[in-house]
A and B are shown apart, each in its own frame.
Chain A
Amino acid sequence: MTMKQYDLVIVGGGPAGLAAAVAAKDNGVDNILIIERDKELGGILNQCIHNGFGLHTFKEELTGPEYASRFIDQVLERNIEYKLNTMVMDIAADKTVTAMNREEGMFQIHTKAVILAMGCRERSRGALNIPGYRPAGVFSAGTAQRLVNMEGYMPGKKVVILGSGDIGLIMARRMTLEGAEVKVVAELMPYSGGLKRNIVQCLDDFDIPLKLSHTVVDIEGKNRVEAVTIAEVGLDRKPIAGTEIRYECDTLLLSCGLIPENELSKSAGVTLNPITSGPIVGDNLETNIDGVFACGNVLHVHDLVDYVSQEAIVAGKNAADYIQNGTKADTKRVEIVAESGVRYTVPKYVRPEEMEENVTVRFRVGDVYKNCVIATYYDDELINKRKRPVMAPGEMEQVILSKKKLAEYQNLGKITIRIEEA
Chain B
Amino acid sequence: MYDVAIIGAGVVGSAISRELSRYQANICVIEKEEDVCNGTSKANSAIIHAGFDAKPNSLKAKLNVRGNELMDAISEELDIPFTRNGALVVCTKDQDRSGLTILLEKAAINGVPGCRIVEREELLQMEPNVADDVTCALYAPTGGIVCPFHMTMAFAENANVNGVSFFLNTEVKHIQKNENGYAIETLHTDTNEVETYEAKVVINAAGVYADELNNMVSEHKLHITARKGEYCLLDKDAGAHVKHTVFQLPSKMGKGVLVTPTVHGNLLVGPTALDVKDKESLSTTGEGLAFLSLTSALSVKNVPMRQVITSFSGLRAHEDGNDFVIGEAEDAKGFVNVAGIESPGLTSAPAIGEMVAGLVKEMLSLSEKDNFVAKRTGLLHPQTLTIEERNALIKKQPAYGNIICRCEMISEGEILDAIHRPLGARSLDGVKRRTRAGMGRCQAGFCSPRTMEILERELGMSMFSITKNGVGSNIVIGYNKEV
A binding-site residues for B, Cβ under 8 Å? 1, 37, 85, 87, 89, 98, 100-106, 108, 121-122, 124-127, 129, 131-136, 140, 142-143, 146-148, 150-157, 178-180, 217-219, 222-224, 239, 250, 263
Distance in angstroms between the alpha carbons of A126 and B448 in the assembled complex: 16
If over half of A's interface residues share one DSSP class (helix, strand or loop), that class is named, otherwise mixed; here it is mixed
Q: Contacts A106-B387, A126-B310, A223-B470: A154 and B448 contacting too (C-beta < 8 A)?
A: no
* Residues of chain B with a CB closer than 8 A to A219's CB: 283
- Cβ B283 vs Cβ A131 within 8 A: yes
Distance in angstroms between the alpha carbons of A223 and B32 in the assembled complex: 14
* Residues of chain A with a CB closer than 8 A to B449's CB: 143, 146-147, 150-151
Pairs A–B under 8 Å by Cβ, sample size 29: A100-B401, A102-B394, A102-B399, A105-B391, A106-B391, A108-B387, A121-B441, A124-B442, A126-B233, A127-B308, A129-B286, A131-B288, A131-B311, A134-B284, A135-B468, A135-B473, A136-B468, A140-B445, A143-B448, A143-B449, A150-B449, A153-B479, A155-B476, A155-B477, A157-B477, A179-B481, A223-B472, A224-B474, A239-B286
- Cβ A101 vs Cβ B402 within 8 A: yes
Interface string of B402-419 (1 = CB under 8 A from A): 110011010000000000
* Residues of chain A with a CB closer than 8 A to B301's CB: none
Distance in angstroms between the alpha carbons of A132 and B232 in the assembled complex: 13
Distance in angstroms between the alpha carbons of A142 and B445 in the assembled complex: 8
- Cβ A180 vs Cβ B469 within 8 A: no
Distance in angstroms between the alpha carbons of A354 and B365 in the assembled complex: 88
Q: How far is the CB of B394 from chain A (nearest CB, A)?
A: 4
| B26 close to chain A: CB less than 8 A | no
With A143-B448, A179-B481, A222-B282 known, 6 other A-B pairs at CB within 8 A are A105-B391, A126-B308, A127-B309, A134-B312, A143-B444, A223-B467
Pick the most buried of A102, A135, A148: most chain B CB atoms within 10 A of its CB. A102
Q: How far is the CB of A106 from chain B (nearest CB, A)?
A: 5
Q: Which residue of B lies closest to A148 (CB)?
A: B480
Distance in angstroms between the alpha carbons of A134 and B444 in the assembled complex: 13
- Cβ A179 vs Cβ B395 within 8 A: no
* Residues of chain B with a CB closer than 8 A to A122's CB: 442, 445
Distance in angstroms between the alpha carbons of A146 and B473 in the assembled complex: 19
| B367 close to chain A: CB less than 8 A | no
Q: Which residue of A lies closest to B288 (CB)?
A: A131
Distance in angstroms between the alpha carbons of A136 and B284 in the assembled complex: 15
* Residues of chain B with a CB closer than 8 A to A131's CB: 283-286, 288-289, 311
* Residues of chain B with a CB closer than 8 A to A223's CB: 467, 469-473
Distance in angstroms between the alpha carbons of A278 and B369 in the assembled complex: 61
| B330 close to chain A: CB less than 8 A | no
Cβ-neighbour of A222 out of B280, B388, B398, B482 (below 8 A): B280
Distance in angstroms between the alpha carbons of A92 and B331 in the assembled complex: 68
Distance in angstroms between the alpha carbons of A105 and B286 in the assembled complex: 45
- Cβ B289 vs Cβ A133 within 8 A: no
- Cβ A136 vs Cβ B467 within 8 A: yes
Pick the most buried of B289, B388, B441, B471: most chain A CB atoms within 10 A of its CB. B441
Q: How far is the CB of B383 from chain A (nearest CB, A)?
A: 9
Pick the most buried of B289, B445, B475: most chain A CB atoms within 10 A of its CB. B445
- Cβ B394 vs Cβ A154 within 8 A: no
Q: Which residue of A lies closest to B412 (CB)?
A: A102
Pick the most buried of B233, B443, B467, B481: most chain A CB atoms within 10 A of its CB. B443
Distance in angstroms between the alpha carbons of A219 and B283 in the assembled complex: 8
* Residues of chain A with a CB closer than 8 A to B460's CB: none
Q: How far is the CB of B5 from chain A (nearest CB, A)?
A: 26
* Residues of chain A with a CB closer than 8 A to B472's CB: 222-224
Interface string of B308-330 (1 = CB under 8 A from A): 11111000000000000000000
- Cβ A132 vs Cβ B283 within 8 A: yes
- Cβ B482 vs Cβ A155 within 8 A: no
- Cβ B395 vs Cβ A105 within 8 A: yes
* Residues of chain A with a CB closer than 8 A to B409's CB: 87, 89
* Residues of chain A with a CB closer than 8 A to B308's CB: 126-127, 129
Q: How far is the CB of A43 from chain B (nearest CB, A)?
A: 12
B residues 442-473 in Cβ contact with A at 8 Å:
442-446, 448-449, 463, 467-473
| B333 close to chain A: CB less than 8 A | no
* Residues of chain B with a CB closer than 8 A to A105's CB: 390-391, 394-395, 401
Distance in angstroms between the alpha carbons of A133 and B445 in the assembled complex: 18
- Cβ A156 vs Cβ B445 within 8 A: no
Q: Which residue of B lies closest to A180 (CB)?
A: B483
* Residues of chain A with a CB closer than 8 A to B481's CB: 178-179
Q: How far is the CB of A83 from chain B (nearest CB, A)?
A: 12
* Residues of chain B with a CB closer than 8 A to A108's CB: 387
- Cβ B282 vs Cβ A133 within 8 A: yes
Q: Which residue of B lies closest to A89 (CB)?
A: B409
| B254 close to chain A: CB less than 8 A | no
Pick the most buried of A105, A136, A147, A217: most chain B CB atoms within 10 A of its CB. A136
Distance in angstroms between the alpha carbons of A181 and B444 in the assembled complex: 25
- Cβ B403 vs Cβ A37 within 8 A: yes
- Cβ A106 vs Cβ B401 within 8 A: yes
- Cβ A154 vs Cβ B403 within 8 A: no
* Residues of chain A with a CB closer than 8 A to B310's CB: 124-126
Distance in angstroms between the alpha carbons of A248 and B93 in the assembled complex: 50
Distance in angstroms between the alpha carbons of A154 and B482 in the assembled complex: 8
Q: How far is the CB of A117 from chain B (nearest CB, A)?
A: 15
Distance in angstroms between the alpha carbons of A327 and B423 in the assembled complex: 57
- Cβ A143 vs Cβ B476 within 8 A: no
Distance in angstroms between the alpha carbons of A113 and B372 in the assembled complex: 57
Distance in angstroms between the alpha carbons of A149 and B96 in the assembled complex: 62
Q: Contacts A126-B233, A148-B480: A134 and B446 contacting too (C-beta < 8 A)?
A: no
Distance in angstroms between the alpha carbons of A394 and B276 in the assembled complex: 42
- Cβ A136 vs Cβ B475 within 8 A: yes
- Cβ A126 vs Cβ B482 within 8 A: no
Q: Which residue of A lies closest to B293 (CB)?
A: A129
Distance in angstroms between the alpha carbons of A4 and B399 in the assembled complex: 23
Cβ-neighbour of B480 out of A89, A127, A153, A156 (below 8 A): A153
* Residues of chain B with a CB closer than 8 A to A151's CB: 449, 463
Q: Which residue of B lies closest to A225 (CB)?
A: B473
Q: How far is the CB of A136 from chain B (nearest CB, A)?
A: 4
